[in-house]
Structure 1
Amino acid sequence: MTTPSTRLRSGVKKRHRLLALGAGWLVTRASMLWLLTHSGSPWLGRSGVGSEVWRLYHDWYLVLVHGTFPTHDTLWQYPPGAGAVMLSPALLPFLTYFQAFVVLTLLSDAVTTAVLARAGLAPGRSLAGAALWVCGLPLLLHIPLARYDVQVTALAVVSLVAMARRPRVGGVFAALGALVKVWPALLLLGAPKGRPTRAAWAGAAVTAVTVLALLTAAFDHPFSFLREQGGRGVQIESLGGTVLLFATHAGWPGVVRYQYGAIEFVGPHVGAVADACLALTAVAFGLLLLWRLRARRFTSATPFDAALCAVLLFTVTSRVISPQYMIWLVGLSAVCLTSRHTVQRPVTALVLAATAVSAVVYPGMYSTLVSCSWTGCFLMLLRNGLLLSAAVWSFVRLWRATTGRGESGTESYPQARRREPAPA
């Protein structure tokens, strides 16, 4: 029986934890801002990470304000919803474009933290997810502040947290995220079977059609990105790129070149490696569909676990694995840890390890990778090995927990839903 004094102590503990989270967020984000202002330092590889915002994003902004999406621009490879993010700094006209973009990124980061914290305060939930996000994102140093992946991850986090009690709302936010950067569409794969799935997909479909119609009416060439996306090659940081990295030391004559906004390999058999990556992506999608058909045991954590598994599989099989992709995986790992029923807890540890290695490679030691040195080779082998291990382990644990071979005592979704209501 819960006494008033017990409830009081519990409330005090929660407040202390929230204060600790808030303090941690302020300290870590201040450190990230400091790194961003010193991104030209030698010990950060003289990378100029922020140049992507004030040069590339701002150039797109200048095109978008004239009512058209970039055309014949090999760097524009994003769905039309990304245009809204590029235009968003106009909401803060008293700041420069760069300053406004960073402020809005921090605001999205704060919203993500708040949503995770609120989810963690619900009965049967945990604040570990919010703590992972607060402490895990800075592993990428200042990169998150100069990319728009934090905004997309915020939409994905809201979608998943809403999925349990308001699946239609979850579908709406998944669609919004997918219109900005395609991967949040994968969140719908884990929606609980039956009415919640229908509601989530209906919300997503209506939102996607409506927003696309509005963007098509307001802008010219909203689908120009499709022309450029098909020309991508094999990025040096991808799993296929790791194979080619070691191939250079075995006599393969290929070279690296900056194209399509990334360092990619050019040379014999690169096309075959790219096709192999696409084939593996198709296999990953087939495995996820098979899991969906075979899954019988859903807990309140299953949508979270399935989302992390799906994005991991599509990331490791992609022709491109940029450092900012780790932001997605950290965010989804954080959502998993909000539930005490997640089966992905050990997988999140691998994700954090891979995130830390990614930050070692870029920006600090990126030159060793571009030069195809042995140091760069082994760093990529370590990072991508961790990601591949995380993807395989994630799928195995998800399969075993949901197809009837999970641990005894795992409760089904309806019971978990009654015991641990998720906040909106």
Structure 2
Amino acid sequence: MWEKDININEVREIRSRTLVYFGVGAIAKIADICKDLKARGINKVLVMTGRGAYKKTGAWDHVTKAFEATGMQYVHYDQVTPNPNTHHVNDAVKMAHDFGAQAVIAIGGGSAIDAGKSAAILLKYPGKTAEDLYTFQFTPTEAAPIIAINLTHGTGSEANRFAVVSIEEKNFKPAIAYDCIYPLYSIDDPALMTGLAENQTRYVSIDAVNHVVEAATTKVASPYAIDLAISVVKLVAEYLPVALKDPKNLEARYFLAYAALAAGIAFDNGMLHYTHALEHPLSGVNPNLTHGLGLAMLLPAVLKNIYPARPATLADVLAPIVPGLKGCGCEAEKVAEGVEKWLFSVGSTHKLLDEGFKAEDVDKLVELAFNTPSLDGLLGLAPTDATKEAVRAIYTESLKPCHK
């Protein structure tokens, strides 16, 4: 109910390790950000985007006006894909080095922001490549300043220290986490998100739900992560159906954007485990797979595994989508089916079989979950014993058709 007291047209400052300008109209803050960059002696920037959203949303008009007003020079890499790979990062870094870029402005969803964070590190390490970075050949302690203009309500990358980039040749999709890649400034403007397609709206919001389900149940989960998780699931449950029905509804976009931001901060504190560790092999093998869909297909089976280990926490977190839980480990099957029913209600009806995965793929996926750099660390944070048998069981369960 508290949402009714919020004026969504007032831009607020939300401070974590990043200063986030949040609210309808927040994109106008790019003018102040560019002035601050100039005051810091930064005159040239690398802009990283996908191929169209940065223009279609109207963000680019604001950014270029701010560049003109401040005399900021830029070079633009516009080839980032939904699952960015090391080639994108390396190509952008070469452009940036040749140009003399001193900072990175990433405009897009998590893919553009993660690729931008990666490029920002490599600007400070000219002898290194994205492959070096994502196979942990060195440990960065500095990066060029990062500005994130977020165009989706899913990843939370605009306010945390994580980035994900694929090494396609190895089917690896590793994650990095370094303090040096917290963005200096970020912008979350719900007005830039009203053009998200129905599937994007659906799956970026499901991504946020997965972030907090995991963050609230890792071995290092804090009260802060759990409290954020409770709020995030409530907001997504309430506002995702509204946004799917009325994509231009700014109130719905506002609270979904806030939920995603809170979820990003939650897993910055509580970390992640099974669902992300097992999804990365899926989109590592199939780069065309939508990350949020991959998570959705795995979530019920993951909950069946972990609910007995964290029943009280998950009963509170999942209450808006599976009402009536008592926090008893014997409810695991009910929880898995209840979450699957909710996913179905918001239009996420696919399982792994529907996306071309087969039973004979499971062994490869299991090996990737344990051999992809960084994913073993996530599995080690799971609240249950993440053996190969447990991981195999989750993948196998996720092949089955939905309960409709």
TM-score tier (shorter): under 0.3
Higher percent of residues as helix: 1
Give TM-score scaled by structure 1 length.
Answer: 0.26
Structure whose alpha-carbon radius of gyration is higher: 1
Higher strand proportion (structure 1 or 2): 2
